[in-house]
Amino acid sequence: MNKETQLQKNFDKKGFNAGASSLKLICWYFTSVMFVRSGIIPFSSILVMILRMFGAKIGKDVRIKPGLYVHYPWKLTIGDHSWIAECRIENLAEVRIGSNACISQQAMLLTGNHDYKKTGFDLITKPIIIENGAWIGARAIVCPGITVKSHAVLTVAAVATKDLEPYGIYQGNPAVKVKDRIIS
């Protein structure tokens, strides 16, 4: 047996629990593909309703654009007046997005990763918290376990590998603070 086969056999999900029955997972998959990800429904209010039907906790006046990918809506919380573009929320663990936050086009919120040092390539999941007023720019990536604090900005294509300070503007890979956010 070669190393590649051995790694595949030993993959360990470390007791991962999707948080829903197989039936709910299947129903969500097909509903998501047909209505949420496809872009066939252009109305935010209907997309919000579908996500809520599957357990997402969504505040008032939230705008959700067609083409959104949410892995598990029952592990998603969004505060009031937030705007979620056609992005990818790979929420194997909880994702909390505060009020007045923005997640831009093709951004990725990734709560799962693997321990590449283990032969079992063990699954690691950690929650993501996007606090009130934060903005995740287009094609930016937020890694597992990160907190984007109040009103912080992760600019276009930046990668957050560490928590972002309140009112900081971050860019690059890995993202570094470049200046303070001044709101007038």
Q: Looking at residue 13, what is its pLDDT?
A: 81
Q: What type of residue sits at position 46?
A: I
Strand partners, 108: 88, 141
Query: pTM for this one?
Result: 0.92
Question: What is the CATH topology of the domain spanning 3-13+20-178?
Answer: UDP N-Acetylglucosamine Acyltransferase; domain 1 (2.160.10)
Q: Cα 172 from chain centroid?
A: 19
Mind listing the pLDDT tens digit for each residue in 132-173? 999 999 999 999 999 999 999 999 999 999 999 999 999 999
DSSP state string for 140-184: -EE-TT-EE-TT-EE-TT-EE-SPBPTTEEEETTTTEEEEE----
Query: 75-78 contacts: CB < 8 A, separation 24 or more?
Result: 75/19, 76/51
Q: Looking at residue 95, what is its pLDDT?
A: 98
Closest by CA position to 125, among listed 110, 140, 136: 110
Question: What b-and-e string marks burial along 59-68, b requiring 16 or more CB atoms within 10 Å of the CB?
Answer: beebebbbbb
Q: Looking at residue 10, what is its pLDDT?
A: 66
Q: Looking at residue 108, what is its pLDDT?
A: 98
Residue 170 contacts residue 154 (beta carbons within 8 Å):
yes
The residue ranges of the chain whose pLDDT is under 50 are: 7
